[in-house]
Amino acid sequence: MEPNATAEPILVGARATNPSADAAAPTSDPPTVSAAPATNARATNPSADAAAPAAIPQAHPAGKTSDRRPRRLLVNLARDTGYLALAFPFGLVAFTVEISGLMVGAATVILWVGLPLLAATLVAAHGFAEFDLLRLAAAGRDLRPERRILPRPAGGPGPRWLAWAGWLLSPLRDPMRWREAGYCLAALVVGTLTWSLGLILWCLTVFGLTAPIWEPITDRLAVLNPNVENQGLADFLGWPVPNWLVYLVIGLAAAVITPSALRGLTALHAEVARFLLLPSQEALTRRLAEVQRSRERAQSAEAQSLRRIERDIHDGPQQQLVRLSMDLGTAQRRLTANEPEAAQSVLTEARSRLDQAIGELRALTRGVAPPILHDRGLGAALSAAAPTLGVPTQVELAPPDFPRLPQAAETALYFAASELLANVAKHAGAHSARLSLSVPAAAGFAELSVHDDGHGGAVVIPGHGLAGLADRLAGVDGSVDITSSDSGTRAVVRVPLPRSQSDQ
């Protein structure tokens, strides 16, 4: 009995994993089956073992998929209904605000009042467009990852009030803002159409499916009040069927097509948004060409920086270290010759050279990201580096507890600040400098400015420091503007930020 007791579980397992075993079982005597043949049967039929793991998981995903389909259908129906329910109110509000602002702004532009009004209208259009994109995302059609708004032009050199005026009127120079205004105008037309169709479909569905409830009630009321004529659709068409049955069939048909129809109406809104709110193919082509040029400029600037560092190390610290090695050899010989005073003099000079080499190495690595930049952020790194850059520098952070930025932006801004302050120390003849770092609200970029009280004269010359700085900033879509006069030089660096960072 012992072999039979052990054979039965193995035989059952073989039948579970090898369907062909069931066909072979009647020809054999089950009490005489041993464990070895069952094991061999499993070993000699690898196809059964290979098929068994695949057969078991297939049953569960199929069941889960069938369970998820009605749930997904209901979720999509709720999303599309929620989006289309607000399509008409949203379009009406957006159309009213935009058409009023554009007409009044265009009429008063000759008085200079119209320009700020037009700019405010375009900013409002941007808000409406972002809100509708958020609604589309809630409806399962998220176009925001495809939306790429280029950073605003930094503006050219000039007085500060002119820079502020350019910033305030920048929406007028942005083609995307005008397209957003057009989207707000089109939203009323498309929203009225889709809202009406969606309302009709839902009314047909609800009234049709509830006809067996309310249609007999209306018939009873008609009997009680003979003056009220109650002629249903079946009576009008002359069909010999109850009216509620006709309404029920219409309701069932509407219930079947409503989810797909609402999905299509939401897709219509998404296509209009894709056409008006996403960059065109031409704009994407220009953007790609710009990215390629900025990449080439950044690579060239990086190569020049490496060559400069190599040259400076060769001409500076390396020579100092060679001389230090010679001095240590001289000191060793003096000590061997029992001349401690001469050896002490040589060691003192060697220590001075070592301190000088360390200082030169620190100066060379200022443009490279220090550990404090990665550990505590850009604000702490600039506050720590400013006292070592050769010119008394006042650091202003807005806000004082400056937030962390993306690593690429922090590295680029730190390099720019180091390069600009090094130029101030070498060429400006300044007595002091002021470094300001801020993230203007909703501006989409971080701004760093360096202002010194030197003699001015700073210009961007290809192949020199400021040109290399501009090339390196181009690698992160940044820009640098230089304004120089006899009273000093002001450099403004702007680096674009992700939307989540610029909204902080």
Find tokens 């609604």 and name the residue.
135
| Tens digit of each residue's pLDDT (9 = 90 or more) over 208-254 | 899 888 877 777 766 666 665 666 776 677 777 777 888 889 999 99
Q: What dihedral do alpha carbons 42, 45, 49, 52 form, nearest 10°?
A: -110
Instruction: Return the bridge partners of 317, or none.
Output: none
User: In b/e form, how buried is each residue of 287-322, taking b as 16+ CB within 10 angstroms?
Assistant: eeeeeeebeebbeebeebbeeeeeeeeeebbeebee
Highest mean pLDDT among 50-64, 180-194, 208-222, 438-452: 180-194
CA atoms of 227 and 232, how far apart (whole Å): 16
Residue spans of the domains in the chain: they are 2-75, 88-277, 295-364, 376-502
CA atoms of 474 and 323, how far apart (whole Å): 40
What is the biggest distance separating any 2 CA atoms in the chain, rounded to whole angstroms? 138
Q: What is the mean pLDDT of residues 246-275?
A: 93
CA atoms of 148 and 287, how far apart (whole Å): 10
* pLDDT band per the 50, 70, 90 thresholds, residue 375: confident
- pLDDT exceeding 90 applies to what percent of the chain? 21
At residue 116, what are phi and psi to the nearest 5 degrees? -60, -35
More confident residue, 138 or 415: 138
Residues in contact with 110: Cβ distance below 8 Å, sequence separation at least 6, in sequence order: none
| Tens digit of each residue's pLDDT (9 = 90 or more) over 33-92 | 343 333 343 444 444 444 444 444 444 455 555 567 788 888 999 999 999 999 999 999
pLDDT of amino acid 5: 41
Highest mean pLDDT among 57-71, 267-281, 332-346: 267-281
What is the fold, at CATH topology level, of the domain defined by 376-502?
Heat Shock Protein 90 (3.30.565)
Among 322, 321, 320, 329, CA closest to 347: 329
CA atoms of 362 and 339, how far apart (whole Å): 35
- Asked if residue 330 lies in contact with residue 346, where contact means CB atoms within 8 angstroms, the answer is yes
| Tens digit of each residue's pLDDT (9 = 90 or more) over 387-410 | 777 788 888 887 777 778 888 888
At residue 488, what are phi and psi to the nearest 5 degrees? 140, 180
Find tokens 């720019």 and name the residue.
416
pLDDT of amino acid 27: 41
pLDDT of 7 higher than 90: no
pLDDT of 172 higher than 50: yes
* pLDDT band per the 50, 70, 90 thresholds, residue 188: very high
What are the helix (H) ranges across 316-449? 317-336, 340-364, 371-376, 378-385, 407-423
* pLDDT band per the 50, 70, 90 thresholds, residue 18: very low
* pLDDT band per the 50, 70, 90 thresholds, residue 29: very low
pLDDT of 364 higher than 70: no
* pLDDT band per the 50, 70, 90 thresholds, residue 165: low
CA atoms of 248 and 240, how far apart (whole Å): 15
Q: What is the mean pLDDT of residues 480-500?
A: 80
Q: Lowest-confidence range among 99-108, 252-261, 327-336?
A: 327-336
Amino acid, res. 272: V
What does DSSP assign to residue 369? P
Among 87, 85, 120, CA closest to 101: 120
| Tens digit of each residue's pLDDT (9 = 90 or more) over 96-117 | 999 999 999 999 988 888 888 9
Helix (H) / strand (E) containing 485: strand 479-485
pLDDT of amino acid 269: 95
Give the HSE-up count for residue 55: Cα atoms under 13 Å, Cβ half-sphere. 10
* The model's pTM: 0.55
What are the helix (H) ranges across 139-174? 160-168
Task: Supply 359's token pair.
Answer: 């200082």
Q: What is the mean pLDDT of residues 486-501?
A: 77
